[in-house]
Amino acid sequence: MACLENILTRYALPPDPLEPLVCVDEYPLALTGYAHDPLPASPGVIRREDYEDTRHGSCSLFGLFAPHLGWRQIIVRERRTGNDFAHVLQHLVASFPEASTIHLVLDNLNIHTTASLYATFPPEEAHRIASKLTFHYTPLHGSWLNQIEIEWSVLARQCLNRRLADRASVQHEVDAWATARNASGTTVNWHFTVEDARRCLRRLYPVPSLTSPTAVPIETDMATPL
């Protein structure tokens, strides 16, 4: 439970411009287009679209969300590989040039390590980026702790609920969405705390064993009955 409490403690800290907190995750998206051109809207008639669509492959959205700052950015890549992840981290570090370290909240996907940096960049550049990052991993089956999951839900409803046939169109739409959301300072009002976790998830916490070598013996001056 240490990783759970670590993330919740980090969420509860006040914003620190020298140590920003950024939630990171990926979102797969199928690229689809229209098999037949939609009929435009006219007075008294709504826009009409045919149900048939065309498939144009897929892409991966890399999301960066700083809940304390109300800032987010979506980077659209063709795939979700260690190389893609490394370039996203390079971009993230460049976005916070004054930070001494950037605290990342992310899941345990195999590409989410500094090894992706060293497999992509020369050692000097990989080390420069890695030295600016501190990783905080969500526990197994605990991706709901990553606040960017809430952002994905909003993005899907407000921006991605349409047919987008290519990566350029997706990037244009998510950029417009993120810009408007950043301008309004919208963020996540997170309420779940360490105390809530200890109360609501107490069944998941290990129970100290009285037979443990580190257990403290209980002293008593009463005789033990036979």
DSSP state, 144?
Answer: G
pTM: 0.84
Q: Do 121 and 90 form a contact (C-beta atoms < 8 A)?
A: yes
Considering all CA atoms of the chain, what is the largest pairwise distance in Å, rounded to the nearest integer?
95
Domain locations in the chain as residue ranges = 2-8+19-32+51-198
Cβ neighbourhood burial of 1 (10 Å; 0-12, 13-18, 19+): middle
Distance of CA 220 to CAs 32, 56, 89, 154, 225, Å? Answer: 74, 75, 58, 59, 13
Per DSSP, what are the bridge partners of residue 33? 54
Alpha-carbon distance of 125 to 85, in angstroms, equals 15
Helix (H/G/I), strand (E/B), else coil: 176: helix
CATH class held by domain 2-8+19-32+51-198: alpha beta
At 213, is the pLDDT very low, low, confident or very high (cuts 50, 70, 90)? low
- pLDDT one-digit tens code per residue, 143-179: 999 999 999 999 999 999 889 999 999 999 999 999 9
pLDDT at 79: 95
